[in-house]
Amino acid sequence: MNNLRSTLAIVWRIAAPYFRSEDKWAGRGLLAAVIGSELAIVGITVLLNQWNSRFYNALQERNWDSFVYEIIYFSVLATIYTVIAVYQLYLNQWLQIRWRRWMTSQYLGEWLHRANHYRMQLQGDAADNPDQRMTDDVKLFVDRTLNIGVGLLSAIVTLASFVVILWTLSDAAPLHMFGRDLTFPGYLVWGALIYSVLGTVLTHLIGWPLVGLDYRQQQYEADFRFNLVRVRENSEQIALLRGEPAPVTPGHDRPLPAPHDRPQGALRRVGGRARGAA
């Protein structure tokens, strides 16, 4: 729990400044539009769930008029859903571009301010390859923070919306086991919650080791890009000295990073070291 609070606090310290910056109104407006469209999609999903019941009842009763009405109703809902989903993707990417541009400008400014890019090299534990990491880590931070945040909100609203539906269905269709009906209020709700908790725990156990691997991947890719840039800048000397066989693969001269590190930790170190060096 403490690790979760610490992670959320770090994410908030990195993400919040943009929504208090000179671009705050555009950022807040786009974020509100993304959240509003996500809530609208959840609402349409609930309506489609209710449509399923009416549509198959019409098929069972062979009611032609109801069948035609439900087909038209579904077509309207599907059209609205498609428009909202496409527009949400557009707004999401627009917000990511503005947010990423602002964060990159801020970190780049701090890195170049008063020769901090040189001073950071003199510190023993400075962030590795900040020039390379600022481009990729900012992109990953913005993309994952926005997608996870909106996805979490969508999951909570979906849960609240379907709890009532599942509870009603539990009363309409009693639990039948061992040849008799068992009275268990809201058994569909409890079953869905147990399934979700077990799935979340299993996903966490399987995915947690991947956090460190993901960080190492970003670190090695940054090292690799840095080495390729050095080869291009010194191509004449390398060609004259026939130094092509020298390895340029990353990770040969550094220990593996701590598995508990995060990409946002690298961003925090870049900003912190730059301010400390100043």
Of the pLDDT bands very low, low, confident and very high (cuts 50, 70, 90), residue 252 is very low
Burial 87-97 (b: 16+ CB within 10 A, else e): ebeebbeebbe
Residue range 7-21: average pLDDT?
91
The region of weakest confidence among 12-21, 94-103, 124-133 is 124-133
Most confident of 48-62, 153-167, 176-190, 243-257: 48-62
* pLDDT one-digit tens code per residue, 31-56: 999 999 999 999 999 999 889 989 99
Beta strands in the chain (DSSP E): 175-177, 180-182
Give the mean pLDDT of the chain: 82
Query: For the whole model, what pTM was predicted?
Result: 0.74
Residue 258 in this model has a pLDDT that exceeds 70: no
Residue 254 in this model has a pLDDT that exceeds 60: no
pLDDT at 262: 44
User: At 218, is the secondary structure helix, strand, or coil?
Assistant: helix
Q: Identify which of 52, 49, 55, 53 has the alpha carbon closest to the alpha carbon of residue 70.
A: 55
Residue range 132-149: average pLDDT?
88
* Cα gap 125→144, rounded to integer Å: 26
Kindly write down the DSSP assignment for every residue of 13-75, as one continuous string. HHHGGGGGSTTHHHHHHHHHHHHHHHHHHHHHHHHHHHHHHHHHHHHHHT-HHHHHHHHHHHH
User: At 244, is the secondary structure helix, strand, or coil?
Assistant: coil
* Cα gap 174→180, rounded to integer Å: 10
The region of weakest confidence among 34-48, 123-137, 222-236 is 123-137
DSSP 186: T
Burial of 154 (0-12, 13-18, 19+ CB in 10 A): middle
Of the pLDDT bands very low, low, confident and very high (cuts 50, 70, 90), residue 124 is low
Element (H, E) at 91: helix 64-112
Most confident of 72-86, 136-150, 249-263: 72-86
* pLDDT one-digit tens code per residue, 63-116: 999 999 999 999 999 999 999 999 999 999 999 999 999 999 998 898 888 888
CB 222 within 8 A of CB 136: yes
pLDDT at 185: 75
pLDDT at 101: 94
Residue range 202-208: average pLDDT?
89
From residue 157, alpha-carbon distances to 23, 39, 154, 163, 190 in Å are 29, 8, 5, 10, 17
* Cα gap 9→268, rounded to integer Å: 12
Share of the chain above pLDDT 70, in %: 82
Nearest 5°: the CA angle 98, 5, 94 is 10
Hey, how many other C-beta atoms are within 10 angstroms of the C-beta on 4? 8
Residue range 223-230: average pLDDT?
83
